[in-house]
Amino acid sequence: MDNITILAIESSCDDTSASVVRDGYVLSNIISSQDIHAAYGGVVPELSSRAHQVNIIPVVDIAIKNSGIEKEEISAVAFTRGPGLMGSLLVGTSFAKGFAIARHIPLIEVNHLHAHILVHFIKDYNREVKVPAFPFLCLLVSGGHTQLIVAKDHYTMDIIGNTIDDAAGEAFDKCGKIMGLPYPAGPVIDKLASEGDKNAFRFTKPSVRGLNFSFSGLKTGFLYFVRDRLKENPDFINKNLPDLCASLQHTIISILIDKLVKASAATGIGEICIAGGVSANSGLRNALIDEGRKRQWNVYIPDLVYTTDNAAMIGIAGYYKYLKSDFASLNITPLANNYF
Ligand code: KG4
Ligand code: ZN
């Protein structure tokens, strides 16, 4: 069979990314992050879509150049259909349509959440990649989502647990904001936590039935805790920043791991993956390895570059759709709301 070469575009939130994926191997993966949102403490949708519009052509250009292939070798163009910010999705969708028409190649629509999970199937020229066996259980944790998913094959995935309010990434980001940290606060908290004591402070964990999650109570509890301590000592945050970060991170991780353990018991599945931006968290990665060892799970942890939003994940999902000739029509529209 000829090579299958996918040009992939991701523009669902605040990263403009393009990637070339050939037969499951990533030839290039260019990510242009939009720093402008940091000044606002969160993603501003209007600014995000404008920045995508500015970035998309150069990002695609570099992705193709870095991949070492010629445009003529591209078999199909894959793009994120959703969920995400409508204005941002429209930029990627329109670009992909234009590219498909210009090159007379198929268009492939990809669900952003499926794509996060499918990073576990990205191949590597330099090492044998251990891939999860179906059915596997995936904890998908990002800025917009916190879900437990059973993947039955590359295309069929069932959500068995979901957040009823905030996502885990939001808990990191919002609590970070309370501590005066820049957006996104997740990576900053991760770093500071490594110098702190995770048992310094205790925050109440939510009691949500079944396999669902809740993080808004933790955020409010954290806010009140910090507010009360600041009344006693205006320098409380500065004096205790690493301990605050370590204790908060520890609480979030234990909420996630508790539910993962429950989900594994409920489904009888011991093939366990993590995915999404929060799966970059070093504490979560280590906690999963420890828990896996204890419970004899096979655990799968993505390369850091494939945890936060990137187009390589759209490329691998697009590759599997190409294998089934699952192509989109040119009148397809983005879907901003959650769908699976
Ligand atoms: O997957 P992603 O790039 O975008 C969404 O689809 O939401 O995830 C972004 C989220 C942000 O909330 C960010 O703070 C969080 O992932 N994040 C982290 C880390 N790196 C990124 N959270 C905790 N620790 C990290 N190292
Ligand atoms: Zn994402």
- pLDDT tens digits, 78-122: 999 999 999 999 999 999 999 999 999 999 999 999 999 999 999
Homologous superfamily of the 5-127+306-323 domain (CATH): ATPase, nucleotide binding domain (3.30.420.40)
The answer to whether the peptide bond before residue 132 is cis (omega within 30 degrees of 0) is no
| Distance from residue 327's CA to the centre of ligand 2 (Å) | 22
What are the residue ranges spanned by the domains of the chain?
5-127+306-323, 136-304
Q: How far is CA 75 from CA 6, 79, 99, 270, in A?
A: 6, 14, 11, 36
pLDDT of the residue at 275: 98
Considering only CA atoms, which of 75, 72, 31 is closest in space to residue 313? Answer: 31
Verify whether ligand 1 is closer than 6 Å to residue 302 (CB atom): no
Q: Please report the pLDDT score of residue 1 as a whole number.
A: 66
Closest ligand 1 atom to Cα of 283: 24
CB atoms under 10 Å from CB of 192, counted, come to: 21
Q: Write down the pLDDT at residue 37.
A: 79
From the CB of 82, is ligand 1 less than 6 Å away? no
Q: What pLDDT, on a 0 to 100 scale, did the predictor assign at position 35? A: 82
Contact partners, residue 144, CB within 8 Å, separation at least 6 = 13, 83, 84, 167, 169, 170
Beta bridge partner(s), residue 111: 82
| pLDDT, tens digit, 9 for 90 and up, residues 151-161 | 999 999 999 99
User: Domain 136-304 class?
Assistant: alpha beta
Residue 161 is predicted with a pLDDT of: 98
Residue 249 has pLDDT above 70, yes or no: yes
Confidence of residue 135 (pLDDT cuts 50, 70, 90): very high
> What is the pLDDT averaged over residues 123-129?
94
- In this prediction, residue 40 has a pLDDT band, given cuts at 50, 70 and 90, of confident
Kindly give the distance from the C-alpha atom of residue 66 to the centroid of ligand 2, in angstroms, as a whole number: 24
pLDDT at residue 24 above 70?
yes
Q: How far apart are CA 136 and CA 124, in angstroms?
A: 21
Write phi, then psi, for 151 (nearest 5 degrees).
Answer: -95, 120
130 pLDDT tier (thresholds 50, 70, 90): very high
Average pLDDT, the chain: 96
In terms of DSSP H, where are the helices of the chain?
45-67, 86-103, 112-118, 168-178, 186-193, 216-232, 236-267, 282-295, 312-323
Regarding the beta carbon of 190 and ligand 1, being less than 6 Å apart is answered yes
Q: Which ligand is nearest to the CA of 275?
A: 1
pLDDT (tens digit per residue) in 186-231: 999 999 999 999 999 999 999 999 999 999 999 999 999 999 999 9
